[in-house]
Structure 1
Amino acid sequence: MDIALFDDYNQLTEEDSAWMTDLLQFSAERLAIPSHAEISVSIVTNDKIREINREYRQKDSVTDVISFALEDEDDIFSSLDMDEEDIPRDLGDIFISYDKAVEQAKDYGHSTKRELGFLLVHGFLHLNGYDHMTEEEEKEMFSLQERILSDYGLRRET
């Protein structure tokens, strides 16, 4: 999977960028996402994510992660005279507030790395059709999210 990671806030080390990319690849393998898929992730400030939240979701508040999926469940290739493998799948964009991740890590008593990983996987699952609007959806999504994080080695105590 092609991953574009943008650190608009200049908070990530090279090591952070490496494990975040690796976690997304790991998640993509778990979901059997084709290797020709694309995704972008931006690490932003509270002010920037608030601006995005206000503009696109009409919520004038800071949030931790926002995902913008570019595909829906319909087959976007059905009307094209091409093989699906010929066209990169642009899954969408994830925006994560670094400040909010640090704050939530302290609140939950785990590392900033664990919180960033949680938000990254959460946003990635949203891009791939998972949601938590109903109790059943929430159980499915959060269970998968915890399995991915745990199997990757980002447990709550880290």
Structure 2
Amino acid sequence: MQVELYVENCFDESPPYLPLNLGEAEIPIAAETWSTWFRRWLEILQAELYQKSIYEIGLRLTDDAEIQALNAQYRHQDKPTDVLSFATLEVDFPQSQEISGAMPLYLGDIVISVDMAKRQAQQQGHSLATELAWLAAHGLLHLLGWDHPDEETEMRMLKQQGILLKAIGILIDIE
């Protein structure tokens, strides 16, 4: 399985496959690491995927101001949030010839506020890298149709995030 990950950083115009800098704070995760993580996660979640050998995902690392604007525009909530996901396919979308062809399947975009991730990492007592991985896993599950409208589905989703993080060597306590 191959994952083509497009990492965008709203703070500078560097190419997407270089280490990302957010002003004074460097993102502690290289683009190759992101790609490895997403590939591993998609292998674990393969039963929920359209059967393809190549998947594409957009990942944008941004600040509170940009994510607040996106949250207001698309969710009508004028406040910053930690992660937004923009799926390209409907959950029960039937496989078509176009999807099953040789082209990569674009799953959608994940947008993460690094500002929010820093605050949450500090509150949770873990590293920024751990928080960014947690939020990326959460965003990926949303791209694949997971949601958490109630406590039961939220716990199921949190447990799945824990499984995904454990698969890449990050251990988080889910309570």
**Is the shorter-chain TM-score for this pair beyond 0.5, marking a shared fold?**
yes
1:114 and 1:83, CA in 2 relative to 1: closer, same or farther beyond 3 A?
closer
* Mapped contact 1:39–1:92 kept (Cα < 8 A): yes
Residue 130 in structure 1 maps to residue 142 in structure 2: no
Alignment of 1:56-71 (within 5 A): 56-71=74-89
* Matched positions, count: 155
1:111 is matched with which residue? 127
Alignment of 1:74-113 (within 5 A): 74-78=92-96, 80=97, 82=98, 84-113=100-129
Q: Distance in 1 between matches of 2:34 and 2:133?
A: 7
* Mapped contact 1:36–1:85 kept (Cα < 8 A): no
Residues 58-114 of structure 1, C-alpha deviations (whole Å, 9 max, x = no match): 111010000011111233444x5x561334321110000011111110011000000
Aligned-pair CA distance for 1:38? 1.1
Which of 48-57 and 26-35 deviates more? 26-35
Among all aligned residue pairs of Structure 1 and Structure 2, give the percentage whose two residues are the same amino acid. 33
TM-score (norm 2): 0.80
Residue 149 in structure 1 maps to residue 157 in structure 2: no
Q: Which has the higher contact order (CA 8 A, sep 6+)?
A: 1
Structure 1, unpaired ranges of 5+: none
TM-score (norm 1): 0.88
2:35 is matched with which residue? 21
* Mapped contact 1:110–1:156 kept (Cα < 8 A): no
After the TM superposition, which segments of 4 or more aligned residues of structure 1 sit over 6 Å from their partners?
none
Q: Distance in 2 between matches of 1:113 and 1:18?
A: 14
Residues 28-70 of structure 1, C-alpha deviations (whole Å, 9 max, x = no match): 1111143322110000011100110111111110100000111
Q: Distance in 2 between matches of 1:112 and 1:66?
A: 18
One-letter amino acid of the structure 2 residue matched with residue 17 of structure 1: A
